[in-house]
Each structure stands twice: as C-alpha cells, then as structure tokens.
Amino acid sequence: MLPSKTDPRWNKLVTGELPYDFKTVAASMMLSRLKRSIQSDASPGNVSACVAEFMAFAEKYESLLAADLSAIFK
C-alpha cells in the first residue's frame, strides 16, 4: 500500500530532492516530465498536482513498480 499524499517523500520525489532511478522506463519518463513541470512552475499548486499525478500512476501500476516503491518508501 502506498503512503498518503501528505507524505513528504512524494514531494521530494517529484521535485528531485529525493533522487531515484526507476527500473521501468515509463515511470522514469513520467517523473522526468513532472520534474520539468515543477522547474518551470514551482508553485505549491503545481507541485501538489504533480504529486497527485504521480500517485495516480503509481497506484495504477503498483504491481509493476512494487520493488521501486518499496525502495523509496521503506
């Protein structure tokens, strides 16, 4: 089960403060796109939207990302 949206590790992950290289290309691409979005607009609203988007992706593909998510959210 994934941590809640309020877990600060989500923010750190999408902003790049918590560096992580996903094993799946799709997750890496999604995270790169979200980081670029935050670089161009670092407002709290955009960061929250990016966290929500990545969480939705992680929830949908949790079985494929299980090892990565486990490493991030030990």
DSSP state of 2: P
**Any idea where the domains of the chain sit in the sequence?**
8-72
pTM reported for the whole predicted model: 0.91
Structure-token match 């799946």, residue found: 24
CB neighbours of residue 74 within 10 Å: 6
Report residue 72 CA to chain centroid gap. 10
pLDDT one digit per residue (tens) for the chain, 74 residues: 899 999 999 999 999 999 999 999 999 999 999 999 999 999 999 999 999 999 999 999 999 999 999 999 98
- Under DSSP, the state recorded for 21 is -
